[in-house]
Amino acid sequence: MRNDTKDRLLGFIDKYGPVRPSEMAKEFKLSTQVIHWHLRDLKKKGLVEQIGSPPHTHYNSVRNPQTTVTIPPNAEPIISSQFSYLTPRGELLVGRDAFTAWLSSKDLSKESSTLAKAYKNNIEKIYDHLTPPFSTKKRLETILEDIELADVFIPIVFRFSGIRLIRS
């Protein structure tokens, strides 16, 4: 039974790698402790490699090494603070991990530098046309006729952080 589980884990890593132990635990309906036990054995045998450090550890097949992702230094701060990716498994990743996962999912790791520059340029274009803070008072007053507002501000972020209502 153990060899069958290790073979299935290795097949999963080959197909979807690099993957996290939590993803494997969900897929095979096993505890993370059991997954780690199998991964430790596969790592000793030289069949898988560990990428990153806890809590952001991924495992990849040695037969399918991860392509190096290159992000230019001037694009690194924007990607670290602005890039987010929702994996097909429903996990929200942010920053460099998100960018790397997105590139891997689209098989675009070789073009990482070009795509990072394009992302940086697009974000800068968007931010050049925006002047914070954004007031949505007029729009909300037409929707919420019976509520009197002093003002409503929405911060400039792509992940919505909420609305603050101020009553007068």
Say which amino acid occupies 135. Answer: S
**Could you give all domains of the chain from N- to C-terminal order, each with its CATH number?**
2-61 (1.10.10.10), 76-128 (no CATH), 130-168 (no CATH)
Taking the C-alpha atoms of residue 145 and residue 143, their distance in angstroms, rounded to an integer, is: 6
Taking the C-alpha atoms of residue 132 and residue 6, their distance in angstroms, rounded to an integer, is: 53
Residue 89 contacts by C-beta under 8 Å, 6 or more apart in sequence? 23, 26
Taking the C-alpha atoms of residue 58 and residue 87, their distance in angstroms, rounded to an integer, is: 14
Tally the residues of the chain: 168
pLDDT value of residue 103 = 85
Residue-by-residue pLDDT tens, the chain, 168 positions: 456 888 888 888 887 778 889 888 988 899 989 999 999 998 888 888 888 777 778 888 876 555 567 888 898 888 888 888 887 777 888 888 888 888 877 778 788 888 999 999 888 887 776 665 556 666 666 667 666 666 666 555 444 444 444 443
